[in-house]
């Protein structure tokens, strides 16, 4: 048997690699998508081979991730439950897509992942596989009773890794899990499972990788200019950049100023609530700037229509339906709404805050001659509002009269 395993080199997938090899008597090909983990990839191939893999495939998918996944999602203004930038959610479809492609090329019998039976990632991996390669079998060790019996908790996994000389970053002194990519880093489990636990306390400063604490950020603000074309950021401070370049540049700027930290209790697709702590410095800046551009260039009703669909779009991404017909249909609408979102926005970054400092566009719908409050200069006749208000008030007056009769007045 041959299995393609989604491999990160972390505690779970390292243990799972060895477990699959021993329990399925299988050849394991470890696959790692380079989507911005940076130093976490160092020595990964050697580690995978020592752990028992016959081969370790590492592919740089960062540009594809930024261009085809992050940017379309940010065009849609996606934000799950008004807080989460969907950093982990949007990465899974890309990883799973490449896994099934490798499985076909390698003539593998199955793909496997280290997502637990309590989380969302299992759904994201498997819905993507179902949409793109329904014939490929999926193995989820965490959903197998024999696996859970052997590893009832992280303590047993750490002990197993130590016994089998598998180097992992997790330890009893650092009992939380991490997932990093170009868009964010997520932290969960362990000490973070208590929603009263303060993840921003001084003793937790060492947990964060992408950003300084807002109170440790520079005491001077910094300005940044972002240029957009058709809803996508194409320049930062006058320098043309690819989607990958934009994300890398904004991550550094945001991290420097303590921007993009989010600590939330979210509603998982499987029905329970879960606590997650996230660092999304570049994504927070991009999301804010994009919205500022839209306020200047998007028609009111188009904006309101698109905004009404944000919860649905965000839920589709969060729940793993990236390759669904409904998400693709929504994306087509989003693309249409972004045709005129071409402009420049200036932001001020300061101690965890993003402050708009200016916006302009050749396609701006803002007309100062109409908006001005200086009567002599305005092309707007305020007298026109009388009839407008009268017509909008008509149904309210009729209803009020009917209610008055009902009370016997």
- Positions marked active-site: 12, 92, 121, 177
Residues 344 and 225 sit within 8 Å (Cβ to Cβ) = yes
Strand partners, 110: 3, 137
Strand partners, 34: 60
Residues 343 and 80 sit within 8 Å (Cβ to Cβ) = no
* 394, 395, 400, 402 alpha-carbon torsion, rounded to 10°: 120
Give the span between the Cα atoms of 274 and 408, in whole angstroms: 54
Q: Exposure string (b/e) for 350-365, b if CB count within 10 Å is 16 or more?
A: bbbebeeeebebeebe
What are the CA-CA distances from residue 244 to residues 67, 79, 327 (Å)?
7, 20, 23
Residues 161 and 150 sit within 8 Å (Cβ to Cβ) = no
Residues 200 and 176 sit within 8 Å (Cβ to Cβ) = no
Residues 187 and 207 sit within 8 Å (Cβ to Cβ) = yes
What are the CA-CA distances from residue 100 to residues 54, 61, 104, 174, 328 (Å)?
18, 15, 6, 33, 20
Coil, strand or helix at 294: helix
């Amino acid at each position: 048997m041959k299995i393609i395993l989604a491999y990160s080199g972390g505690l779970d997938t390292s243990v799972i690699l060895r477990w699959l090899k021993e329990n399925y008597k299988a050849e394991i090909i470890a696959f790692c998508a380079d989507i911005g983990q940076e130093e976490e990839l160092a020595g990964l191939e050697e580690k995978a081979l020592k752990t028992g893999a016959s081969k370790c495939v590492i592919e740089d998918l960062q540009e594809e991730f930024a261009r085809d996944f992050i940017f379309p999602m940010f065009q849609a203004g996606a934000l799950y439950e008004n807080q989460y930038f969907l950093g982990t959610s949007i990465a899974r479809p890309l990883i799973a897509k490449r896994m099934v492609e490798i499985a076909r090329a390698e003539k593998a019998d199955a793909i496997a992942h280290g997502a637990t039976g309590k989380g969302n990632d299992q759904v994201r991996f498997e819905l993507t596989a179902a949409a793109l390669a329904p014939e490929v079998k999926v193995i989820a060790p965490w959903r197998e009773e024999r696996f859970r019996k052997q590893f009832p908790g992280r303590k047993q996994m750490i002990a197993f890794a130590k016994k089998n000389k598998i180097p992992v970053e997790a330890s009893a002194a650092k009992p939380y899990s991490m997932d990093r990519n170009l868009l964010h880093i997520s932290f969960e489990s362990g000490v973070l499972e208590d929603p009263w636990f303060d993840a921003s306390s001084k003793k937790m400063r060492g947990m964060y990788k992408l950003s300084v604490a807002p109170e440790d950020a520079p005491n001077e603000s910094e300005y940044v200019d972002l240029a957009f074309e058709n809803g996508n950021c194409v320049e930062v401070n006058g320098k043309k950049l690819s989607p990958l370049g934009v994300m890398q540049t904004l991550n550094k700027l945001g991290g420097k100023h303590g921007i993009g930290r989010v600590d939330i209790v979210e509603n998982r697709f499987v029905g329970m609530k879960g606590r997650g702590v996230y660092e999304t410095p570049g994504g927070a800046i991009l999301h804010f700037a994009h919205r500022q551009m839209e306020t200047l260039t998007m028609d009111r009703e188009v904006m309101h229509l698109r905004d009404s669909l944000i919860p649905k779009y965000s839920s589709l991404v969060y729940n793993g339906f990236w390759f669904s017909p409904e998400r693709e249909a929504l994306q087509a609408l989003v693309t249409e709404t972004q045709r005129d979102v071409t402009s420049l926005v200036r932001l001020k970054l300061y101690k965890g805050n993003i402050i708009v400092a200016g916006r302009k566009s050749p396609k701006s719908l803002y007309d100062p001659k109409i908006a001005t409050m200086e009567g002599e200069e305005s092309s707007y006749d305020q007298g026109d509002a009388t009839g407008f208000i009268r017509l909008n008030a008509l149904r309210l007056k009729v209803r009020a009269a009917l209610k008055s009769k009902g009370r016997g007045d």
